[in-house]
Amino acid sequence: MEVMRQLAVLLTVVVVITTITTISEGAIPTNTLKKVLMVNNKGPFLGLVVPNSFEMNPLLQSSQFVQSKELPYLDFGGRRFRFGKVGEQKVIIVMTGLSMLNAGITTQLLLALFDVKGVVHFGIAGNANSDLQIGDVTIPKRWAHTGLWNWQRYGDGPNDELAFESSGDYTRKIGYLNFSDFDINKNKNFGNYLNSVWYQPEEVFPVSGVPEVRKHAFWVSVDQHYFALSKKLEGMNLTRCVNSTTCLKRSPVVKRVEGGCSASIFIDNAAYSQFLRSKFNVTPVDMETAAVALICLEQEVPFIAIRALSDLAGRGSSKSNEASIFGSLAAQNAVSVVTKFISLLA
């Protein structure tokens, strides 16, 4: 029947149109894509990546940050990308949320969507270095993810191959933590069923490499030019007091240091932060920077991280974690150093 035939044609047309629309939109809505293109016409930008609002707000509230009037922000993938300027530099500010997964995803989104010429990551961190104090702002030369382990079976020792070591998936090159070294009563060393965990490098897939052909990275160096430039930040004046009565013992300093490390672990434990210090010579310990560093390594985008020390990662008094008193001062100091660093890029 003619009516049925016409209905069939109409249905086919509807199906085809729906399919085309779906295909052309992909997962990024056309409206968002248009805005992304509009933003990128004004690029390149400096990406400012920060873990949480506590650390981001001092920047948003700073007179140094001028948000774009045309398009203040764009939301995508559960993240808000804010556009504006810090001094003369065009910036995109994005908050990642806690820990490695969020930090990695957010940095990848930032670099996939936008024309970004470099990434400055900042925030607060635990301090594993007894030469520095709370409130000091650190700029490490390199970062490692210290949360990827091969957990060795009880009974095996340093001369035993790890599971899947022979296939190149794991290595004994970086070293290990042996749980029996942390027994309270050292005289009764019967060993420990937890045995040892061996630190592993990350598998990385740089954009200029062959897809699916892995490389490995444990330490990720920050950009050489950025690091050289950051020398000029040493000697900056930073805030010393929370209020009229609560002050740090001395004025905080900006210090370039050897290394920092990150893992999806909040460290409020002296034995472990001292271990990280002696094994890896790290100063700031946090939960995001190495993820940002690894994404920037893979995407081949210059990167640096500025982390203010807000607590002693468990080395302080047994009663409290100092972050509750000095956290806001540390967050403010990190932002002061970041904005100064951005002005040096001009």
Token digits of residue 28: 């990024």
Cβ proximity to ligand NAG, 236 vs 345, nearer residue: 236
Query: Helices marked H in 117-252 — which ranges?
Result: 224-229
- Min CB(242)–ligand NAG separation in Å: 5
DSSP lists the bridge partners of residue 138 as 255, 307
Q: How far is CA 142 from CA 145, 173, 222, 279, in A?
A: 11, 18, 6, 15
DSSP lists the bridge partners of residue 202 as 217
- Min CB(149)–ligand NAG separation in Å: 12
Inter-residue contact 159 to 170 (CB < 8 Å):
no
CA angle 206, 212, 215 (to 5 degrees): 50
- Min CB(329)–ligand NAG separation in Å: 10
The binding track of 223-262 with respect to ligand NAG, each residue x by CB under 6 A or -, is: ------------x-x----xxxxx----------------
Distance, CA of 97 to CA of 78 (rounded, Å)? 10
Distance, CA of 10 to CA of 308 (rounded, Å)? 64
The binding track of 174-193 with respect to ligand NAG, each residue x by CB under 6 A or -, is: --x-x-x----------xx-
Pick one of 157, 208, 211, 319: the residue that binds ligand NAG (CB under 6 A).
Answer: 157
* Residue 168 binds to ligand NAG (criterion: CB under 6 A): no
- Min CB(180)–ligand NAG separation in Å: 3
* Residue 171 binds to ligand NAG (criterion: CB under 6 A): no
- Min CB(168)–ligand NAG separation in Å: 20
Q: Which long-range contacts (CB under 8 A, 24 or more apart) does 236-241 make?
A: 236/137, 236/336, 236/337, 236/340, 238/135, 238/137, 238/333, 238/336, 238/337, 239/135, 239/329, 239/332, 239/333, 239/336, 240/135, 241/329
The binding track of 93-132 with respect to ligand NAG, each residue x by CB under 6 A or -, is: ----------------------------------------
* Residue 325 binds to ligand NAG (criterion: CB under 6 A): yes
Judged by the rule CB under 6 A, the positions of this chain that interact with ligand NAG are: 157-158, 176, 178, 180, 191-192, 195-196, 235, 237, 242-246, 325
